Amino acid sequence: MNTVNNFNASELCSSKLWEVISKHAQERDTTSELQAAIEELATRRHYLQELESMGLFTAHRR
């Protein structure tokens, strides 16, 4: 039986999204799942400093 694992970042809490990002970053993985998690956290404005320090997000500050 084939099962499709659909990843919907908006359904996860911020801490779970951070776990997804941390796991993928350690493996140097650049999947759509990783990008979706980063975009969702950026939208929520959570973990921005951590994402910046990992080089995964650049906030444009004035």
Domain boundaries, the chain: 31-62
Q: What is the mean pLDDT of residues 11-29?
A: 87
Q: What is the mean pLDDT of residues 22-37?
A: 81
Q: What is the mean pLDDT of residues 24-42?
A: 83
**What three-state secondary structure class fits 44?**
helix
Q: Is the pTM of this model over 0.75?
A: no
**Distance of alpha carbon 26 from alpha carbon 13, whole angstroms:** 20
**What three-state secondary structure class fits 20?**
helix
Using the predicted structure, report yes or no on whether residue 28 has a pLDDT greater than 80. Answer: no
Q: What is the mean pLDDT of residues 26-53?
A: 86
